[in-house]
Amino acid sequence: MDEVFDFVPGDAPLLVSVPHAGTRIPAGIAATMTPEALRTEDTDWFVDALYDVAPGLGVGLIVARQSRYVVDINRDPTNASLYPGRSVTELVPLTTFAFEPIYAAGREPGPAEVEARVSRYWRPYHDALRAELGRLRARHGVAVLWDGHSIRSQVPRFFDGTLADMNFGSVHGQSADPSLVAAVQRAARSHGGYSVVWDGRFVGGHITRSLGRPAEGVHAIQLEMTWRTYMAEEAPYRLDPGRAGRARAFIAGCLAAARDWALAASSGAAARAD
């Protein structure tokens, strides 16, 4: 599935997912889109580069290649809203975050095209997530999923004012054990200098909500970083070396805390089995 995602497996009971860093748009789909859409402004820019620390920690990493404009891998396949009553983007978005049309008039995808994209891109990514989490859980007795995202610090469509630097989500404690959340919180505090919020404006997307099942030994956390923590927020988008280095260290510290929690939970599960 190298056309759909890149995957580097790890030995630790932790898997990092990066569903929105891709910018690829197949030619046939691109031909139906507006010039604004082809700039892929709403990409989680460079998040895959920030999470390149994962393999060095023994942690698996899966990164989607396609743009979220093709199909949003972090949306419910039924198109159910993540945040009822609030503005959201669809499974196959029709507008950008700035309400610009993604498709030329009359070229919007119909139901058959949406289903084709789900089958081609969305489902293989989720199948891979479930398979790898299943493998890790079978081996360790526990598995943790970390879903990595980023967003401009001010997006009036979705929230008022300015977003905190680091926005963690655990679906209000439903997708991850409280002790795992506490371990990551300690790590976040130890890498000071950032404003940090848990289960604020972003509590977790479809990936976190659908795969985080603590009672079944699978835990999930989402991190939504603001662009200002590591890059310029206006085009041309580029990494800021100093800020990106700090953000990468923050990510590495939090991932290490989640990994160590999972390894300790795995040892506890093995001891109980004995």
SS3 205: coil
pLDDT of residue 192: 76
- The 8-class DSSP code of residue 165 comes to S
Average pLDDT over residues 227-252: 96
pLDDT tens readout for residues 3-32: 899 999 999 999 999 999 999 999 999 999
pLDDT of residue 2: 58
What the block records as the tokens of 176 is 């991850």
SS3 174: coil
Count Cβ atoms within 10 A of the Cβ of residue 32 and give its class: 0-12 exposed, 13-18 middle, 19 or more buried. middle
User: Three-state secondary structure along 60-97?
Assistant: EEEEECECCCCCCCCCCCCCCCCCCCCCCCCCCCCECC
pLDDT tens readout for residues 178-206: 999 999 999 999 987 899 999 999 999 99
pLDDT tens readout for residues 71-123: 999 999 998 888 877 877 899 999 999 999 999 999 999 999 999 999 999 99
pLDDT of residue 230: 98
Q: What is the average pLDDT score of the chain? A: 95
Average pLDDT over residues 30-54: 97
Residue written as tokens 């081609």?
A: 120
SS3 211: helix
Contacts of 143 (CB under 8 A, 6+ apart): 13, 14, 15, 133, 134, 136, 137, 217, 218, 219, 262
Average pLDDT over residues 215-235: 96
DSSP bridge pairs for 57: none
pLDDT of residue 268: 67
CATH fold for domain 5-273: Aminopeptidase (3.40.630)
Spatial contact of 53 and 248, defined as CB atoms under 8 Å apart:
yes
Q: Enumerate the domain spans of the chain.
A: 5-273
Peptide linkage before 236 cis (omega within 30 of 0): yes
Average pLDDT over residues 127-135: 98
pLDDT tens readout for residues 259-272: 999 999 997 665 45
What the block records as the tokens of 4 is 């759909």
Predicted confidence (pLDDT) at residue 168 exceeds the cutoff of 90: yes
Pick from 272, 269, 5, 2: nearest CA to 138: 269
Residue written as tokens 């790898």?
A: 132
pLDDT tens readout for residues 152-166: 999 999 999 999 999
Predicted confidence (pLDDT) at residue 167 exceeds the cutoff of 80: yes
Q: Is the pTM of this model over 0.75?
A: yes
Spatial contact of 145 and 262, defined as CB atoms under 8 Å apart:
no
| Distances, alpha carbon 107 to alpha carbons 57, 94, 101, 102, 103, in Å | 45, 10, 11, 10, 6
Pick from 65, 68, 93: nearest CA to 79: 93
Count Cβ atoms within 10 A of the Cβ of residue 265 and give its class: 0-12 exposed, 13-18 middle, 19 or more buried. buried
